[in-house]
Chains A and B, each alone.
Chain A
């Protein structure tokens, strides 16, 4: 079975400051990795994904994430946040070659951007 741990449940950050959201996973097989964002009372929007290739993945809204296989991590970063980045962020994994694309989510990290 897979598991995903998001080490920070809440991250307050000032506008224009950098932010890093930590994600670690556990799996006995190779996985795909994803970051989703959820704005209040809305669904999940895909920020970025790692399937293979370059370990540095760039996504929408200026976010990027780096896959580190030895540390089983997939931390999300943004060099300068905006008020509009206030949202909840979810890290997720799915198993390669499994039937369908079932995702296992972390508990989420709530980002509050302060002016």
Chain B
């Protein structure tokens, strides 16, 4: 997982603020995935993107959450008007088409 870069590693937000999490995939990878890990739980799929396209967002909450993967630059997971229940670790992963996915180190969001 050495090549998937996430920032920030730790983020503290007050309720009602916005959180932006960034992910740069491994070199040569055009597929990006976001997963969420709530405390004491396993990882849950949120969204799968390719460059400029959302392919599968079946795991995204219907409100306040959005994701993008622009032609240039990192993928961004955006959470608007954060609530305490959004506190979690958010992991980005990347892959080439049909290959093993590799995870980043994660971004830990704490909502106070």
Contacts and interface: CB of A to CB of B under 8 A. Distances in A.
Given A99-B55, A101-B95, A104-B45, A42 B100 contact: no
A81 to B, nearest CB: 22
A107 B42 contact: yes
9 contacts: A34-B100, A42-B106, A43-B105, A46-B1, A100-B31, A100-B33, A101-B31, A101-B99, A103-B45
Given A43-B106, A44-B1, A105 B44 contact: yes
B91 A106 contact: no
Interface of B is mostly: strand
A43 B91 contact: yes
Contacts of B104: 43
A49 B102 CA distance: 12
Interface of B: 1, 4, 6, 31, 33, 35, 41-45, 48, 50, 55-56, 91, 95, 97-106, 108
B106 A102 contact: no
A102 B42 contact: no
Interface of A is mostly: loop
A106 B4 CA distance: 23
Most buried by B among A44, A45, A108: A44
A36 interface: yes
